[in-house]
A and B are shown apart, each in its own frame.
Chain A
Amino acid sequence: MKIVLLLLLLFPLGGAVLNALAGRWLPRRLVETTACAAVLGALVLAVAALVLAGDRAHDLTFCSWIVSGDFSAAMNVHFDPLAAVMALMVTFVASLIHLYSVAFMRSDPDYVRYFCYLNLFVFAMLVITVADSLILVYLGWEGMGFCSYALIGFWYGEAANTAAGRKAFILTHIGDVALGVALAMFFVLFQDFSISHINAQAGALTPATATILALLLLWAAAGKSAQLPLTVWLPDAMAGPTPVSALIHAATMVTAGVYLLMRLFPVVQLSPVALLIMAGLGAVTACYAGLAACVQRDIKKSLAYSTISQVGYMVLAVGAADIVGGMFHLVSHALFKALLFMAAGIMIQALDEEHDIFKMGNLRRLMPGVAYLFLGGSLCLSAFPLLGGFFSKDRILLATFLHPDISYKVCWALAMVGAALTPFYSLRLYFVAFQERAGGPLKQDLRPYPRVMAWVLAPLLVLALADGLLNLPGGFGKNFLGHYLAPVPGARPDLGAPVWLEWAMGMGSAFLVVVMTWVTYRYYRRPRRGLRPWLHELLFQAFYLDRFYLAVVARPYQQISRFLWQRVDNLILDRGYIRLAQGVFRPYRALARFLWQELDQRVLDEGIVRTASGFLSLSALLGLWATGRLSTYLQMLLLGLAVWFGALAVSWYLW
């Protein structure tokens, strides 16, 4: 088991290191094969780990990492069913995305850097997934942040991309500060960084301490998962390549925050206040992002806001103390969001980097395969009855509704609004991009793309559609995922709801979704009235949150730094250093010239040349000895004998 988990981490790391060191000199196919093989190997190992783990948690140690006085942190691993499911999901989606990337980046010369970072990112995510020691989690956390920065700003030739990468990095780091503080608090309270130990001893915490810890963790999760108020980096992060968006901003990084909350749930659940704030934050974000997604023109930005909204649902699930529901929705969302992003990638490449959906059209006729993929993904996203997203979202709504606290009903209402908006903004994308449009692209406008990009998505579509089978609320295979996750502390396989309530809620949300689907269809069928301009602008700018931050935080910071640079730095440079350097420089030059001419040339001239000529004459002298004549050598033999005899006589008589 230890070997399996160790290799699970080392495969993607090894792939990244190998490509980083030798990728420049290896053929392109080999680099791509290495990267894909590393992640596919990790997938096989994740399956093996899942099978080997059974249904209990495994605590393993790889090696001792930091030992300093009383403090020691080892590279520990806590592999329970939660980690098993997450690892399997991450490696599966990452494998498909790697295969997709091979085709997507086919004409990009920087593929080595790309695959290296992609593998490194998978490694960091797997570290977070299986790590037991919080320091190790922090390592993976920061590693993910760096890889995300590197991959968002992958095409760094354009300033906008690097700005987007920087923005993502800074904003997630604002969350990481909270994680650092939480780590310090954990150490002070428990003298231990191990998640399993902390979870076991969580009962020792006072509610106030637990609240502070939970809120700190929530802030960190909000940074990483793009929840309010730190949502603004995710729409801009769409500047990166589409497979990056599919991996990072659909399946892995944005779910890492929620995953951390689930891992430390015994701590979090001790504070009802924090749980309520969590639920509220999740619900409000879901609603906010859903509204913003309704008017976006860029297909990737729309999917980004959709991600923010869906992750809000996962946070809501944790706030409603339903880990199973959160995990279920995490897995479903990973599947269909990755599918949607990758299908969007195909569309963008086929239409020559066109992102605006209102300039697309006719695609159902021109790219039928992609049309079905996108339709399937959209229907899952909008929680169409009996498809993948339906059961997971339904369970979250049920858990929220069932919560005894009255405030949760408000959260439930907000979540229902979000659930109503979801079919609208997701099917809107489908209808606008794929329906017939008079001025839309013609067959000759489509750029050719490798078909393998679409074939990779077919299994994803099947899984996304059938995803509901994982955790059906009733009947055959009831609560399968829930029972698998039962050993995880805090998980409730069965919500314990009355059957009529379940059916009522299910029917209600199904009806809502079907109605919204029909509304969307009709709305985009005929020429439509737009929204009022001010309302449109409000939603388009996502309630001006980005501009707010820019004005309040970024601009003043830039101005202060410019002032410091121009006034302080330049003045000091101008006056002080240059004069100082000039004062020192002249005598130094005189000294150097003196040393050179007097010492160096004299030494060179006389000493070394004389030594060399002395050696030459010595060797000429010795050369006289080698006459090449036999008689000379025989004389020398006799001379030797005579010398030896003489020494013998001297020693004998002087003794």
Chain B
Amino acid sequence: MSLYALIFYTLGAVILGATGLAITRRQVMHAVVYLVISFLATALLFYLLGAPLLAALEVIIYAGAIMVLFLFIVMMMEMGKSPESPGAYLRQWLPALLLGGVCLAVTLALLLGDSGAGAPLKSASASPLVFGRFLFERYWFSVEIASLLLLVALVGAWYLGRRDENTEGP
């Protein structure tokens, strides 16, 4: 097993572990922090898989903006521990585990039984220059649409979030 493979499996374990911990926390704040770890590991994985720009963007946007936004909201709203009955935890998780297990079994069986993708990946790297040129030459329209989408989200989030005399507050 080469070095890169070793790094890959390590990072994979970190990602899975962090995410697994994140989704089972009672406190939302804890979950957000674990998820930040997961995203940082994902960023490293992106770099390993030859997408340095995307790695940087993953850290900046996902871990840096989105998770911080989550933190803001969680801190703004007093949520605390969710009042659940003791037996409710299993009842909540049972359908998810069942169905998720089925999907997992099928997915792994399909993927690992496929002989075509058995060959190791050839590593490569797309520098930001190359990637940027590619993006703006081939997908410039989608870039424009994405920027429009962000504008729409901006307006929507502002509208929903504003407080004026007419809103009913708790």
Query: Does chain A touch chain B in the assembled complex, meaning CB atoms less than 8 Å apart?
Result: yes
Is A646 an interface residue when CB atoms closer than 8 A count as contact? Answer: yes
Interface size class of A (residues with CB under 8 A): 10 to 19
Assess A646 versus B102: contact at CB under 8 Å? Given A635-B95, A635-B96, A638-B95: yes
Q: Which B residues from 77 to 132 make CB contacts under 8 A with A?
A: 92, 95-96, 99-100, 102-103, 106-107, 109-110
Give every chain B residue within 8 A of A635 (Cβ-Cβ): 95-96, 99
Which residue of the partner chain, among B92, B96, B103, B110, contacts A652 with CB atoms under 8 Å?
B110
Cα–Cα distance between A638 and B96 once the two chains are bound (Å): 8
With CB as the reference atom, state the residue of chain B lying closest to A639: B99
Docked Cα-Cα span, A202 to B66, in Å, equals 110
Interface of chain A residues 573 through 629 with chain B (CB within 8 A): none
Shortest beta-carbon distance, B109 to chain A, in Å? 7
Q: Which residues of A contact B100 (CB under 8 A)?
A: 638
Q: How far is the CA of A638 from the CA of B95 in the complex (A)?
A: 9
* Per-residue contact bits, chain A 618-655, to B (CB 8 Å; 1 contact, 0 not): 00000000000001000100110110011011001000
Interface of A is mostly: helix
Asked if B106 and A646 make an inter-chain contact with CB atoms under 8 angstroms apart, the answer reads yes
A645:B95 contact, CB within 8 angstroms = no
- When the two chains form the complex, which single residue of B92, B102, B110 contacts A642, counting CB atoms closer than 8 Å? B102
Q: Tell whether, in the assembled complex, residue B96 and residue A645 are in contact, meaning their CB atoms are under 8 Å apart.
A: no
A649 touches B106 (CB 8 A): yes
Q: What distance in Å separates the Cβ of B32 from its nearest Cβ neighbour in chain A?
A: 20
Closest A residue, CB atoms, query B102: A642
A222 CB to nearest B CB, Å: 97
Task: Name, among B92, B95, B107, the residue most crowded by chain A CB atoms within 10 Å (CB to CB).
Answer: B95
User: A649-B109, A649-B110, A652-B110 in contact; A642/B96 too (CB < 8 A)?
Assistant: no
Contact-residue size bin, chain B (C-beta under 8 Å from the other chain): 10 to 19
Contact residues, A205-241 vs B (CB, 8 A): none
A649 CA to B106 CA in the complex, in Å?
Answer: 6
Per the bound structure, the CA–CA distance linking A426 and B155 in Å amounts to 103
Contacts of B96 in A (CB 8 A): 635, 638
| A652, B96: Cα distance in complex, Å | 25
Contacts of B102 in A (CB 8 A): 642, 645-646
Residues of A close to B99: CB separation below 8 A: 635, 638-639, 641-642
Q: Find out whether the CB atom of B95 lies under 8 angstroms from the CB atom of A648.
A: no
By beta carbon, the residue of chain B nearest A638 is B99
**Closest chain A CB from B42 CB (angstroms):** 22
Q: Complex formed: what's the CA distance from A645 to B106 in Å?
A: 7
Which of A631, A635, A645, A652 lies at the interface centre, i.e. has the most chain B CB atoms within 10 A of its CB? A645
Whole-angstrom CA separation of A638 from B101 in the bound complex: 11
Residues of B within 8 A of A642 (CB): 99, 102-103
Q: Bound state CA distance, A641 and B106, in angstroms?
A: 11
Q: What 0/1 pattern do residues 246 to 289 of A give for CB contact below 8 A with B?
A: 00000000000000000000000000000000000000000000
Whole-angstrom CA separation of A638 from B102 in the bound complex: 10
Considering the complex, give the chain A residue whose CB is closest to the CB of B109: A649
CA distance A236 to B107 in the complex (A): 107
**Residues of B contacting A638 with CB < 8 Å?**
95-96, 99-100, 103
Given known pairs A638-B95, A638-B96, the reply for A648 and B110 (CB within 8 Å) is yes
Q: A646–B101 Cα gap in the complex (Å)?
A: 11
Contact status A641-B103, CB under 8 Å: yes
Q: Cβ of A648: which chain B residues have Cβ within 8 Å of it?
A: 106, 110
In the complex, the chain A residue whose C-beta lies closest to that of B100 is A638
By a CB distance below 8 angstroms, the chain B residues around A649 are 106, 109-110
Rounded to whole angstroms, the CA-CA distance of A646 and B106 in the bound complex is: 7
Residue with the highest number of chain A CB atoms closer than 10 Å, among B92, B100, B103: B103
With a cutoff of 8 Å between Cβ atoms, the chain B residues found around residue A631 in the complex are 92
Q: How far is the CA of A648 from the CA of B110 in the complex (A)?
A: 9
Tell me the complex Cα distance, A93–B158, Å. 87
> Nearest chain A CB to B41's CB is how many angstroms away?
25
A649→B110 CA distance, assembly (Å): 7
> With the chains together, A648 CA to B96 CA distance in Å?
20
**CB closest residue in chain B, given A645:** B106
How many whole Å from A636's CB to the nearest CB in chain B? Answer: 10
Q: How far is the CA of A642 from the CA of B95 in the complex (A)?
A: 11
Which A124-144 residues have a C-beta within 8 angstroms of B?
Answer: none
**Chain A: CB-nearest residue to B92:** A631
CB distance from B90 to the nearest CB of A (A): 15
Chain A residues with Cβ under 8 A from B103's Cβ? Answer: 638, 641-642, 645
Give chain B residues whose Cβ lies under 8 Å from the Cβ of A639. Answer: 95, 99
A residues in contact with B95, CB < 8 Å: 635, 638-639
Q: Which chain A residues lie closer than 8 Å to B110 at the CB level? A: 648-649, 652
CA distance A638 to B98 in the complex (A): 10
Contacts of B92 in A (CB 8 A): 631
| CA distance in complex: A642, B110 (Å) | 14
Cβ of B8 to closest chain A Cβ, rounded Å: 25
User: Smallest distance from the beta carbon of B51 to chain A beta carbons, Å?
Assistant: 27
Give the nearest-CB partner of A650 in chain B: B106
Closest chain B residue to A647, Cβ basis: B106
A624 to chain B, nearest CB (A): 16
How far does the Cβ of A6 sit from chain B's closest Cβ, in whole Å? 67
Give the chain A neighbours of B106 by CB distance below 8 A: 645-646, 648-649
Whole-angstrom distance from the CB of B69 to the nearest CB of chain A?
Answer: 21
Bound form: Cα–Cα A646–B103 in Å:
8
B149, chain A: closest CB distance, angstroms: 23
Smallest CB separation, B110 vs chain A (Å) = 7
Residue of chain A at shortest CB distance from B101: A642
CA distance A646 to B102 in the complex (A): 8
CB-nearest residue of chain A to B107: A645
Bound Cα distance from A631 to B96, whole angstroms:
10
Bound form: Cα–Cα A635–B96 in Å:
7
Instruction: List B contacts of A641 (CB < 8 A).
Output: 99, 103
| Assembled-state Cα–Cα distance A307/B117 (Å) | 116
Q: Tell me the complex Cα distance, A202–B106, Å.
A: 104
Assembled-state Cα–Cα distance A645/B95 (Å): 16
Once the chains are docked, how many angstroms separate the CA of A8 from the CA of B99?
Answer: 86
Q: How far is the CB of A644 from chain B (nearest CB, A)?
A: 9
Q: Which residues of B contact A (CB under 8 A)?
A: 92, 95-96, 99-100, 102-103, 106-107, 109-110
Instruction: Show 5 A/B contacts (Cβ-Cβ < 8 Å), sorted by A.
Output: A635-B99, A638-B95, A639-B95, A639-B99, A648-B106
The 6 A-B pairs at the shortest CB distance, nearest first, are namely A645-B106, A642-B99, A649-B106, A638-B99, A642-B102, A635-B95
- Known: A645-B102, A645-B103, A648-B110; 7 extra A-B contacts, CB below 8 A, are A635-B95, A638-B103, A639-B95, A645-B107, A649-B106, A649-B109, A649-B110
Q: Which positions in A face B, CB cutoff 8 Å?
A: 631, 635, 638-639, 641-642, 645-646, 648-649, 652
